[in-house]
Amino acid sequence: MNTRNLLAALLAVFLAACSQTSPEPKKGGAELLAPFKTDLKAALSEGMQDGAVAAIAACNEAAPGIAQALSADGVRMGRSSHKLRNPDNAPPAWLVPVLDDYASGQSDLAPRSVVLEDGRTAYAEPIMMQPLCLNCHGEVLLPDVAARITELYPNDQATGFGVGDFRGVFWVEF
């Protein structure tokens, strides 16, 4: 077995060992993410009252602030995707194989827990496209929405989705 195959095999064993099947870490992760999801939904709903362009500010400004405010006492959380809009939402290393697996469509989209190298737990929960999401992430965007997204995110990859598509994840480390 060459070095590359050996490293691939070791990585596969490591990732399998990191998978957590106990419901407790999943429950803890879901509970920690609940306020983030609730606050973000409220910010998006409030922004949408003034239209999709105004709602972009919720993802651009409010979401990072909400995540930062809730990331305390050894907890760190955020959002990420296999198709990033904001490069600041790049996934932590542990999340890359989870995102790849979800995006492949070859496995179920159940939330996942992972034991981190330092013994802490990480949790990822899929974000699925809802009709409201199409305003900024759909196949066809209004010109003013597209212009604002291009202004804020010149390397945007987060469009072309349909209702029910896998969009990304909420994640937390604790």
- At 25, is the pLDDT very low, low, confident or very high (cuts 50, 70, 90)? low
Transcribe the chain into DSSP letters. Answer: --HHHHHHHHHHHHHHHHEE--HHHHHHHHHHHHHHHHHHHHHHHHHHTT-HHHHHHIIIIIHHHHHHHH--TT-EEEEE-SS-SSGGGPPPTTHHHHHHHHHHTSS----EEEE-TTS-EEEEEEEE--GGGHHHHBSS--HHHHHHHHHH-TT-----B-TT-EEEEEEEE-
pLDDT value at 5 more than 70: no
Per-residue pLDDT of 132-170, as tens digits, reads 999 999 999 999 999 999 999 999 999 999 999 999 999
Per-residue pLDDT of 98-114, as tens digits, reads 999 999 988 899 999 99
* pTM metric for this prediction: 0.81
- At 24, is the pLDDT very low, low, confident or very high (cuts 50, 70, 90)? low
